[in-house]
Amino acid sequence: MTLSRALTLGLLLALPATTGAQTAIAPDLDPRVQQIVAAVSETRLKTRATTLVGFGTRESMSDTTSAIRGIGAARQWIHDELRRSSGRLQVSFDTHVIAPQGRFTRQTELRNVMAVLPGRSARRIYVTGHYDSLNLGSGGQQALNAGGGQNPQARAGFDHDTPAPGANDDGSGTVLTMELARVFAESGLQFDATLVFICWAGEEQGLVGSAAHAQQLAADQVTVEANFNNDIVGNIHGGNGVIDAETVRVYAVGPEDSMSRSLARYIQRVAALYVPSHRIRLMAREDRFGRGSDQSSFTRQGFPAVVFREANENFAKQHTAADTLEGVDFAYLAQNARVNAASAASLALAPAAPKVTGPTGANLLTRGPSGYDAQLTWNAVPGAVAYRIAWRDTWSNDWQHRQTIGDATEFVLPNVSIDDFVFGVAAVGADGHESLTSAYVSPVRRSADVKVVKP
């Protein structure tokens, strides 16, 4: 390396830069987002969770004819309650008839309950939780975790109408989703993105309701920018005795520079601004070890998604009759709702993320005419007034350097090697809100096996 190149590189790396998401460059607090965060009602979360538990069970194959008990009564109440929340919400059943398979021992009509708040653009941001519940019988999830038995759901004679209150799994995520639908619609704001709030069915049978929905989205080529999935987000007393009401886990599937990881970093940065009393613990994996939820129906179709999980779980209560309201701390659930609200609102007010690949899928990142620079190019985004470049060491998992530039679609970092750093670019709107950061991801090189002549 020549002295001048070393100096240039040294200067670049000494730019006002940050090392962690919590202190990254960010827009000033937007009073509109603050208002949305402040509108989250702990009381309403509790009242609605109480009603939900009152249906006795919400198991996906439970009774659909009663007006007071079973999944049929529950979904109708969620539907009507969303409709009562705001006239701006387009509320409907997203219905799928599921053929017998896996844990569905007979053909079953599943209804996801959906509320849409149309934005200026058709790109969608999802906030979701599953309203179906489950009682696996003695031991519940703890027995399954211990490897003590097979999942009994597919067995003949499994009782679908046994009490399954599901207050925390996933009554917590359901009422969080319903509350955000109300708060966003009642804010009166016109968002750039279209917000979709869905309470899923069939999660406990293998993410079936969300899978049917996401499959359809992919077939219809809908643009989905993010899915904020919430599953088991209301308990603060871990089964191991640890109590934590100040943190929440956010799981995001890789690879390192997937848009799901970009979404996770975004949530951590925005939450630090608007809900500084709550700490986001990012988890660089799809979900808890060996377990899953509806975000995976989205990532499977290539849509960015994360799942929120409470800090410490009590496995003994999950999937049993003991998953009752006493196990939900509504002040904690409200904090998790505020984190969702702040990050979904910021993202919905921001322009879309820039596309950093060309028509053939190749990265718009080159070494420039010198052969030794980082030349970044991206597609212009409607509504963007500026762009924010980010970069970091390849071995680091969060942006170390961020720099806002003007309304350009190209930027050169002289003497910064594209071999040694990861680069990304985000779009910034007129009111300072930033999109997700799109990273230039070096593809895994593939080659065919060498043909070897056997002796």
Total number of residues shown for the chain: 455
How far apart, in whole angstroms, are the C-alpha atoms of residue 38 and residue 191? 18
Min separation Cβ 292 and Zn ion, Å: 9
Stretch that binds Zn ion, among 145-153, 169-177, 325-333, 399-407 (CB under 5 A): 169-177
378: number of CA atoms within 13 Å, CB side?
28
Rank residues 230 and 435 by Cβ distance to Zn ion and give the closer one: 230
Stretch that binds Zn ion, among 92-100, 193-201, 227-235, 386-394 (CB under 5 A): 227-235
Stretch that binds Zn ion, among 154-162, 163-171, 272-280, 298-306 (CB under 5 A): 163-171
Figure out which of the listed residues 231, 294, 310, 313 binds Zn ion, where binding follows CB under 5 A.
231
Q: Does 170 bind Zn ion (CB under 5 A)?
A: yes
Min separation Cβ 204 and Zn ion, Å: 7
Residue with tokens 């009073």: 31
Rank residues 291 and 402 by Cβ distance to Zn ion and give the closer one: 291
Stretch that binds Zn ion, among 109-117, 161-169, 250-258, 391-399 (CB under 5 A): 161-169
Q: Comparing C-alpha atoms, which of 207, 159, 170, 129 is closest to residue 319?
A: 170
Q: How far is CA 29 from the centre of its chain?
A: 22
Q: How many residues bind Zn ion (CB under 5 A)?
A: 3
Min separation Cβ 365 and Zn ion, Å: 40
Q: Comparing C-alpha atoms, which of 311, 195, 262 is closest to residue 422?
A: 262
Q: Does 169 bind Zn ion (CB under 5 A)?
A: yes
Stretch that binds Zn ion, among 17-25, 78-86, 164-172, 261-269 (CB under 5 A): 164-172
Min separation Cβ 308 and Zn ion, Å: 12
Rank residues 111 and 123 by Cβ distance to Zn ion and give the closer one: 111
Is the separation of the CB atoms in 19 and 391 below 8 Å?
Answer: no
Min separation Cβ 407 and Zn ion, Å: 44
Largest Cα–Cα separation, the chain: 79
Rank residues 59 and 231 by Cβ distance to Zn ion and give the closer one: 231
Annotate each residue in 394-423 with x if it binds Zn ion (CB under 5 A) or - if it does not, as one string: ------------------------------
Token pair for 314: 């009590």
Rank residues 170 and 192 by Cβ distance to Zn ion and give the closer one: 170
Q: 125: how many CB neighbours lie within 10 A of its CB?
A: 26
Rank residues 308 and 387 by Cβ distance to Zn ion and give the closer one: 308
Rank residues 266 and 308 by Cβ distance to Zn ion and give the closer one: 308
Rank residues 228 and 266 by Cβ distance to Zn ion and give the closer one: 228
Stretch that binds Zn ion, among 224-232, 244-252, 360-368, 370-378 (CB under 5 A): 224-232
363 DSSP β-pair partners? 357
Min separation Cβ 231 and Zn ion, Å: 4
Is the separation of the CB atoms in 88 and 195 below 8 Å?
Answer: no
Q: Comparing C-alpha atoms, which of 283, 309, 284, 287 is closest to residue 296?
A: 287
Q: Comparing C-alpha atoms, which of 15, 14, 36, 13 is closest to residue 270?
A: 36
Min separation Cβ 129 and Zn ion, Å: 8
Bond from prior residue into 255 cis (ω within 30 degrees of 0): yes
DSSP character at residue 380: -
Stretch that binds Zn ion, among 59-67, 91-99, 113-121, 226-234 (CB under 5 A): 226-234
How far apart, in whole angstroms, are the C-alpha atoms of residue 230 and residue 14? 39
DSSP character at residue 448: P
**SS3 of 46, please?**
helix
Min separation Cβ 169 and Zn ion, Å: 4
Min separation Cβ 170 and Zn ion, Å: 4
Supply the Cα-derived Rg of the chain in whole angstroms: 23
Rank residues 201 and 349 by Cβ distance to Zn ion and give the closer one: 201
Rank residues 173 and 424 by Cβ distance to Zn ion and give the closer one: 173
With b for 16 or more beta-carbon neighbours within 10 A and e for fewer, the 365-387 pattern comes to beebeeeebbbbbbeebebbebb
Rank residues 170 and 287 by Cβ distance to Zn ion and give the closer one: 170
Rank residues 116 and 167 by Cβ distance to Zn ion and give the closer one: 167
Min separation Cβ 319 and Zn ion, Å: 9
Q: How far is CA 361 from the centre of its chain?
A: 25
**SS3 of 21, please?**
helix
Min separation Cβ 133 and Zn ion, Å: 8
Stretch that binds Zn ion, among 99-107, 168-176, 283-291, 447-455 (CB under 5 A): 168-176
**Residues 90-149 close enough to bind Zn ion by CB under 5 A:** none
What is the per-residue DSSP string for 170-218?
THHHHHHHHHHHHHHHHT----SSEEEEEEESSGGGTSHHHHHHHHHHH
- Cα angle 51, 53, 55; round to 5: 80
What residues make contact with Zn ion under the rule CB under 5 A? 169-170, 231
